[in-house]
């Protein structure tokens, strides 16, 4: 277990890249709500709420349940932005010192904001596919896209962890 009191607590301004990541994530979340608003009256009363490993719907619920995706995406987006402001609390693969703290914190913040963007985009795609499936335009989720999304998220974590390892204390 780490002791965050021994770590430097640095104020690090948002970089232009981090601002763009926040903007993209925010636009994805807003797009979810706008899209849902636009199609709401065209949604059937019963919609798929769960999809099996093949991408075919295997559980159904009322159309109110489609609100769960943008609600979760909105909460996660807010929490991840808030979390990105506390890089001194993250777990790092190397010891954090005065010498490497700023570099590690920048990578840590960027990692959280990249994950926020990737998760927000994944939720937007999920919502779109769920609604398209509900109104009969597609027959289920594109399960291949979900595996690609998960691979991208995992790849981001691995890549940024490798970047952090360069800054050994």
In eight-state DSSP terms, residue 45 is S
pLDDT value, residue 39: 95
pLDDT value, residue 72: 97
d(CA 4, CA 24): 31
d(CA 136, CA 47): 10
pLDDT value, residue 156: 95
- Strands (E) located in 27-153: 46-51, 57-62
pLDDT tens per residue across span 6-37? 777 778 888 999 999 999 999 999 999 999 99
pLDDT value, residue 5: 53
Q: Which of the residues in the chain have pLDDT under 50?
A: 1-3
Q: How far is CA 13 from CA 16, 17, 18, 23, 87, in A?
A: 10, 11, 9, 16, 12
pLDDT value, residue 140: 66
Record the pTM: 0.86
pLDDT value, residue 169: 59
Reduced to 3 states (helix: H, G, I; strand: E, B; else coil), residue 98 is coil
pLDDT value, residue 1: 44
d(CA 98, CA 103): 10
In our burial notation (b when 16+ CB lie closer than 10 A, e otherwise), range 42-58 reads ebeeebbbebeeebebe
pLDDT value, residue 101: 87
């Amino acid at each position: 277990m780490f002791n965050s009191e021994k770590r430097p607590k640095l104020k690090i301004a948002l970089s232009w890249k981090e601002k763009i990541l926040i903007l993209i994530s925010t636009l994805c979340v807003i797009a979810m709500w706008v899209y849902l608003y636009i199609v709401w009256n065209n949604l059937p009363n019963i919609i798929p709420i769960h999809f099996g490993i093949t991408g075919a719907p295997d559980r159904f619920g009322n159309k109110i349940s489609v609100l769960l995706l943008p609600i979760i995406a909105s909460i996660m987006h807010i929490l991840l932005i808030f979390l990105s402001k506390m890089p001194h609390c993250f777990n790092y693969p190397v010891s954090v010192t005065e010498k490497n703290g700023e570099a590690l914190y920048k990578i840590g913040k960027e990692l959280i904001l990249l994950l926020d963007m990737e998760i927000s985009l994944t939720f937007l795609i999920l919502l779109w596919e769920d609604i398209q499936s509900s109104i009969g335009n597609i027959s289920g989720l594109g399960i291949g896209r979900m595996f690609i999304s998960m691979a991208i998220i995992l790849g981001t974590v691995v890549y940024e962890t490798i970047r952090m390892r360069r800054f050994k204390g």
